[in-house]
Amino acid sequence: MQQVPLEHVRDYPRPPRIEEATEHVLVKVGNEVLFDGTGCLKVLETYHPPTYYLPPEQTKRELLRPASGHSFCEWKGVASYFDVCSHRRTVPRAVWCYHQPSRAFASIRGWFALYPGLMDGCWLNDEPVIPQPGGFYGGWISSAVIGPFKGDPNHPELI
């Protein structure tokens, strides 16, 4: 097995950058698969674990229902939210998307990001991920990244 180099999130840039993800990504909610594949993008920002953006053509969009409200990111623009509706449960405002992102983030237009802590499971190359601390962040913590992470109550300087 090839050893993946560890990344310190303190070394990620600000403003953030987008990279193509090489990992196999699996997301389940209510025993249904929302996404299973490759070809994702990830956003890397200082002190944040990567946030994965799922390509719309591979995402099980029939599980997504537009939700009310929006949020604003100083880098990406205005995000729209979606509820995830499986046969077993509905997860409110668990997924977001930028329909008209800033020019620097045009490549994520229409792609879906999510809060891993609200899903029944998220995996990178078969490794279960840990959600980024704090209810506002969508980062995916795996063995490939080293913190401390923004939102961690043990590091109040990053909250």
Give the mean model confidence (pLDDT) for residues 64-79: 96
pTM of the predicted protein model: 0.95
Give the mean model confidence (pLDDT) for residues 126-145: 94
What does the DSSP 8-state code read for residue 64?
E
Q: In the prediction, which pLDDT does 136 show?
A: 84
Confidence band for 159, pLDDT divided at 50, 70 and 90: confident
Q: How far apart are CA 101 and CA 139, in angstroms?
A: 19
**CB under 8 Å to 42, separation ≥6 — which residues?**
18, 19, 20, 21, 50, 51, 52, 53
pLDDT tens-digit series, residues 98-109: 999 999 999 999
* pLDDT > 60? residue 2: no
Tell me the pairing of strands 64-73 and 17-20. Answer: unpaired
pLDDT tens-digit series, residues 14-34: 999 999 999 999 999 988 999
- Judge whether 95 and 59 are in contact, CB under 8 Å: no
